[in-house]
Structure 1
Amino acid sequence: MQRTLVLLKPDCVQRRLMGEVISRFEAKGLHVVGMKMLRVTPELSRQHYAEHVEKPFYSGLEEFITAAPVVALAIDGLDVIQVVRDMLGATNGLKAAAGTIRGDFSSSRQMNLVHASDSEESAQRELKLYFRDEELCDYESVMTAFMRAEDE
């Protein structure tokens, strides 16, 4: 099992697509173990996007991510990091395949609805930015037996 961070970005919140996106993760059999709505501050943005702070596009990114609330999700599942990224589709919504979240709902590179951690290291770092340990609720779903074989 892995755990990843997913952020429903300001455009997802403003367009009222939160439930649609979360329902896709749940339908896939992934476990939401943490969820909260918050405002990303400029400080949190700089921590989250530390590798981009010195790049020319960063100021626009910070302006966007702090413009409205986001919903932070901690999600568990088998190979969840890659599964979620595959479900999101290409970063640019215009290039994302139909059937993916971005392919179905986005037509922008920046306003692409959702952020997801890209590696186990990123997931661990990003989860700590958005959740305290006591805010995460581990549980075993009764549906797990009907979602995958015992040896998976």
Structure 2
Amino acid sequence: MAVERTLVILKPSAIQRGLVGEVISRFEKKGLVLIGMKMVWLTDKILSEHYMHLQKKLFFQRLKNSMKICPVVICCWEGVDAVKVVRTIVGVTNSRDALPGTIRGDYSMSMQENVVHASDSVEVANVELKRFFDEKELYVYNPVLLSTLYASDEM
């Protein structure tokens, strides 16, 4: 088992609807460790880089415009299998298909306005974290309750 880091962006739909605390608390309650967080206003340049894999899609510009409506909250979460755990908590991209109990299943009806972005693999998470955080913005510390989250041989 590997301790991983992953990126979560609370999108403008989360900010506008006042869901920041609720979304963050879901990750905290699961036992993930928040090691970096900031609020930023995304630029067209960074969004073009971030969504480069979607640039040929018809919705590319609409997606970028949506992400610039207001600032977003960017988080780095850490834990054993963090990428998979976060993706499970978040739910599938199309919120209409997301299961109840997931963030998207509980708070969204849209494919685009789906409350959060979450890295979909360890490799992607590493690239995305470097895009949005300087290393000095990520904090390594031992949460007091860490021993209650994992068995001694899981870390």
- Give the TM-score band, short-chain normalised: over 0.9
In the TM superposition, residue 44 of structure 1 has moved relative to its aligned partner by 0.5
2:85 alignment partner in structure 1: 83
Structure 2 Cα separation of the partners of residues 66 and 41 of structure 1 = 7
2:135 alignment partner in structure 1: 133
1:37 alignment partner in structure 2: 39
* Aligned-pair identity (%): 47
Match for 2:114 among 109, 112, 115?
112
Structure 2 Cα separation of the partners of residues 53 and 70 of structure 1 = 21
* 3-state SS, counterpart of residue 94 of structure 1: helix
Match for 2:71 among 52, 69, 72?
69
In the TM superposition, residue 54 of structure 1 has moved relative to its aligned partner by 2.4
* 3-state SS, counterpart of residue 85 of structure 1: helix
Structure 2 Cα separation of the partners of residues 84 and 99 of structure 1 = 13
Where do 5+ consecutive residues of structure 2 fail to align? Answer: none
Where do 5+ consecutive residues of structure 1 fail to align? Answer: none
Moved over 3 A (4+): none
1:87-120 per-residue CA deviation (whole Å, 9 max, x = no partner) reads 0111111111011111111111100000000111
1:26-85 per-residue CA deviation (whole Å, 9 max, x = no partner) reads 000100000000011000101111111222210111111111111000110000000000
One-letter code aligned to 1:49:
Y
Matched, 1:100 2:119: no
1:2 alignment partner in structure 2: 4
Given the two structures, how large is their TM-score scaled by the length of structure 2?
0.96
One-letter code aligned to 2:109:
S
